[in-house]
Structure 1
Amino acid sequence: MTQPTTSPFTDPAAVARYAEGPRRNVPGYDSLLRMSRILLAERVPADGRVLVVGAGGGLELEDMAFAQPSWRFDGVDPSQPMLDLAAQRLQSAGVAGDHVALHHGYVQSAPAGPFDGATCLLTFHFVPREERVPMAAEIRRRLKPGAPLVVAHLSVADGKGAGGEGGAAERDLWLSRYAAFQIASGVPPEHAARARDKVAVELAVLTPQEDEAILREAGFSEVQLFYMGFAFAGWVAHA
């Protein structure tokens, strides 16, 4: 993941607990990983090279490295403690060191490629709105023509123009469902409530329509929604 302005990804305790988070927070997280690599495999060749933006923690790198042992990966993340955690996870899992290269920094620090595909999972909601188009464009610049990008992050409908009640009320409902999923996953209610409030105040959570528009503005085409899980959504798009 990319780190927000006030980042939990430099806190040693939070970093140590990171692997527990996605499965407690994201509905169908393991299926999201499987769907992501299925979508990549539609166009990434057997000996393909994949860019992983927000690679800290190493969960998706581990998943893809085992499922596609002939792919090569470059992972980039601005949190060095999270990259260290990813390296430890991959080493413990027996992933060969020449199979994955890790790079400290933002997407501008990633190699120029060109890559056969890219992922950016659970990352964009940490990026300020005004930085999202430039970030997506930097990813696209590193991809071969037609290469897939798979993204998934917090993306909450507000009902405006869709016949819903609209505005803050619908957004609050979706964020409450996000918290309810955490509680159902074993998170103490008070912790889930704090997480919900933190998301509402600190993160730039856009609507699905806005998220799709950002991908198109960055130069991607064939933008398709493939995943929704309460407050999370995912798309595949092509350079």
Structure 2
Amino acid sequence: MADANQAFLDMFADPERVAAYAEGPPRYMPGYKAVQRMAGVLLAEQAPADAHVLVLGAGGGLELKALAQLQPAWRFTGVDPAGPMLDLARAALGADATRTVLVEGTIDAAPAGPFDAATCLLTLHFLPREERVRTLAEIRRRLRPGAPLVVAHASFPQDEPARGKWLARYAAYALASGANPAEVEQAHTAVGNSLTLLTPEDDEACLFEAGFGETEAFYAAFTWRGWIARC
């Protein structure tokens, strides 16, 4: 992973940031909780009632908790490179932790499966393009034939002046949602300068390059996009 993206991972080792993590995503991502519900609905179209679901980028536990509440018979394997964020996930899951296995590491640390479905929310934008495609391919390799994957992350036009306009809207939405102005300014600068950002068209191309044969967009809001893909 590029050094620039490593700075974002380092944030998830900061105790203060970890403790306040649950407040962050809803302030920066329009419809954050709705995306989690939509992910559950989309996965349930094909996943069995007793599905085993791979959740990549599971730190914090918000996505795991939402899916667990939607599907009380599903089991989960959550993978994340940040140990403190996995500790937060355990606390967030409560009783649902009994049907969840948490693994510290990248996709390479995930069990071989096969899994009935997978999610990767607010994660892929931390990865350079080549590593993003490789990670998606490793997810696909762990899925049953025809199993669904739901992804959602930062993805918007990268040509100027459109790029700058959308980054400004990203910051404006966070401010309108009550985020701390100093943190918003820091996030605006960091996202613009450090993350590996792709256009929606290139993000969809990454899914195809990783071997997914069917892809549908299901979510678009400001600088965010979401897709469901199938093997």
1:130-153 Cα distance to aligned partner (Å, 9 max, x none): 211110000000000110000000
Taking structure 1 as the reference length, the TM-score comes to 0.92
Partner of 2:51: 48
CA distance in 1, matches of 2:186, 2:85: 23
Question: Over the residues paired in the alignment, what is the CA RMSD in angstroms?
Answer: 1.2
Q: What is the aligned partner in structure 1 of residue 130 from structure 2? A: 130
Q: What percent identity do the matched residue pairs reach?
A: 55
Q: What residue identity is the alignment partner of 2:53? A: V
1:177-208 superposed Cα distances (whole Å, 9 cap, x missing partner): 10010000011333312211110001001100
Which secondary structure state, in structure 1, belongs to the residue aligned with residue 96 of structure 2? coil
Amino acid at match of 1:205: L
Residue number among 184, 189, 192 corresponding to 2:184 in the alignment: 192
CA distance in 2, matches of 1:194, 1:221: 38
**1:17 and 2:20 are equivalent in the alignment:** yes
What SS class does the counterpart of residue 101 from structure 2 fall into? strand
User: Residue in 2 aligned with 1:75?
Assistant: 78
Deviation at 1:96, TM superposition (A): 4.4
Distance in structure 1 (CA, Å) of the matches to 2:74 and 2:186: 39
Q: What's 1:179 paired with?
A: 171
2:145 matched residue in structure 1:
145
- 2:115 is paired with a residue whose SS is coil
Q: Which position in structure 1 is the counterpart of 2:64?
A: 61
Partner of 2:101: 101
Separation (CA, whole Å) in 1 of partners of 2:183 and 2:59: 23
- The 3-state SS of whatever aligns with 1:233 is strand
Partner of 2:229: 237
Amino acid at match of 1:206: L
SS at match of 1:235: strand
Compare 126-135 and 110-119 and name the one that shifted more: 126-135
Structure 1 position 28, deviation (Å): 0.4
1:83-94 correspondence to structure 2 within 5 Å: 83-91=86-94, 94=95
Task: Kindly state the Cα deviation for residue 95 of structure 1 after the two structures are TM-superposed.
Answer: 1.4
- Following TM superposition, where does structure 1 have runs of at least 4 consecutive aligned residues deviating by more than 4 angstroms? none
Residue type of the alignment partner of 1:5? Q
Residue 192 and residue 72 in structure 1: after superposition, are their counterparts in 2 closer, same or farther (change >3 A)?
same
Structure 1, gaps ≥5 residues long: 159-166
Structure-2 separation of matches of 1:188 and 1:72:
36
| Letter paired with 1:184 | A
1:203 maps to which of 192, 195, 201: 195
Whole-angstrom distance in 2 between the partners of 1:169 and 1:189: 23
Residue type matched to 1:60 in 2?
A: E
Unpaired segments ≥5 residues, structure 2: none
Instruction: Name the counterpart of 1:228.
Output: 220
Post-superposition CA distance 1:62-103 (Å, at most 9, x none)? 011111010110000000000011011112xx2142x10000
Deviation at 1:229, TM superposition (A): 1.1
Which structure shows the higher helix fraction? Answer: 2
